[in-house]
Amino acid sequence: MNAYSKFAGYALGLAAVFGIALAIGATLGPEPTESAHDSKAHGAMGESKSGEVPAGLMASENGYTLRLDTPQTTAAANVPVRFRILNRAGAPVTDYVRSHDKGLHLIVVRRDMAAFQHVHPTLDQAGTWSAPLDLSRAGDYRVFADFTPEGGENLTLGADLRVAGNYDVQALPAPSITAKVGEYTVTLDGTVTPGQPSKVVLTIGRNGKPVTDLQPYLAAYGHLVALRAADLGYLHVHPEGSPGDGVTPAGPGITFFVDAPSAGDYRLFLDFQHDGVVRTAEFTLSVTDTGAPAPGPAAEPAGHGH
């Protein structure tokens, strides 16, 4: 075989291999990029679209990063926590869009969900947020920063905070349609179906009588945070209507649309204000693939006032 024949045979073989590679690539498709894994397009106050991954599972997203100044501390009742939101260039963000009367909402929850706080830190001129937290119960916490940077979209970023001390891990409370908060009883009614907005009504009573004079808190009659128990995936939803719109009653029922991205157990925290005090009612909700009907009637005593 002459040199020309050898070269021609080699070229044909190479073309065949290249063709096979192209066919395989076309079958498998291109390698996913970062945008293909974008977890969500946020709405106001961390609301997520149907079927999307919940917020708060990442410390960095869309060019922004949540950076705790001190990710470890010791247990105490009044611990100053400082953090910054950094932009793509690593500089602190100083301009925010106010949402529900605040520039940023901070949700802090222990990983067993036995301790929950919804606070509103203050921002200094250098771009550092700070707030005192009740970290008297040691353990591993998740810190969620829910905010909208000026000129950007709403984001919820999450970071871990470790609190040294004796960690008394608690089991997730059983599902219940009622929660007790002092003299108040909150009842949950509704069926949650994964992957679609589901109507849930939370009805508030006091000493057996319906509460019809709820007070606005952060421009709403109630704020509901839902966390997926398996990974603390974060959903922050708000009720239908708004105070003073001439349509929305001030209780006893507050209507929400909850979008659970998957089946599983969720922990719900409802903030509401009455007689000048903000109280938090806590529920466990078990969502199934066929929808989650209201769980058993046992009252859950968990809940607290701010």
Domain ranges for the chain, please list them. Answer: 44-164, 178-305
Q: What is the pLDDT of residues 58-76, one digit of tens each?
A: 999 999 999 999 999 999 9
Residue 194 has pLDDT above 90, yes or no: yes
Burial (CB < 10 A; 0-12, 13-18, 19+), residue 83, is buried
Question: What CATH superfamily classification does 44-164 receive?
Answer: Macroglobulin (MG2) domain (2.60.40.1930)
**Which amino acid, residue 25?**
G
Instruction: Name the residue with tokens 């916490």.
Output: 141
Higher per-residue pLDDT: 10 or 200: 200
Q: What is the pLDDT of residues 114-129, one digit of tens each?
A: 999 999 999 999 999 9
Distance separating alpha carbons of residues 255 and 209, to the nearest angstrom: 19
Question: What pLDDT sits at residue 303?
Answer: 59
Residue 260 has pLDDT above 80, yes or no: yes
Residue 11 has pLDDT above 70, yes or no: no
- What's the pTM? 0.80
Burial (CB < 10 A; 0-12, 13-18, 19+), residue 302, is buried
Mean pLDDT throughout 140-164? 97
Residues pairing with 136 in the sheet: none
- The upper half-sphere exposure of residue 260, i.e. CA atoms within 13 Å in the direction of its Cβ, equals 28
Residue 149 has pLDDT above 90, yes or no: yes
- Grade residue 18 by pLDDT with cuts at 50, 70 and 90: very low
**Residue 51 structure tokens:** 């079927």
Mean pLDDT throughout 245-263? 95
The residues, ordered by sequence, that sit 6+ positions from 181 with a Cβ below 8 Å of its Cβ are: 279, 280, 281, 303, 304, 305
For the chain, the distance separating the N- and C-terminal CA atoms, rounded to the nearest angstrom, is 90
Least confident of 46-55, 124-133, 245-254, 286-295: 46-55
Higher per-residue pLDDT: 36 or 293: 293
Question: What pLDDT sits at residue 8?
Answer: 42
The CA-atom distances, in angstroms, between 54 and each of 61, 120, 152, 208 are 13, 22, 19, 36
Question: What pLDDT sits at residue 12?
Answer: 38
Cα dihedral across residues 190, 191, 194, 196: positive or negative: negative
Mean pLDDT throughout 26-50? 37
Least confident of 97-101, 156-160, 161-165: 97-101
| Residue 268 contacts residue 237 (beta carbons within 8 Å) | no
Q: Do 178-305 and 44-164 have the same topology in CATH?
A: yes
123 three-state secondary structure:
strand
Exposure string of 165-186, with b = 16+ CB inside 10 Å and e = fewer, is eebeeeeebebbbbbbbeebbb
Question: What pLDDT sits at residue 305?
Answer: 58
Burial (CB < 10 A; 0-12, 13-18, 19+), residue 246, is exposed
CATH number of the domain located at residue range(s) 178-305 in this protein: 2.60.40.1220
Higher per-residue pLDDT: 237 or 37: 237
Percentage of the chain with pLDDT > 90?
A: 72
SS3 string of 187-250? EEEECECCCCCEEEEEEEEECCEECCCCECCCCCCCEEEEEECCCCCEEEECECCCCCCCCCCC
What's the helix, strand, coil split of the chain in %, to 5? 10, 45, 45
Nearest to 137 by CA among 111, 171, 106, 173: 111
Average pLDDT over all residues of the chain:
84
Mean pLDDT throughout 280-287? 97
Distance separating alpha carbons of residues 250 and 244, to the nearest angstrom: 9
Distance separating alpha carbons of residues 209 and 192, to the nearest angstrom: 27
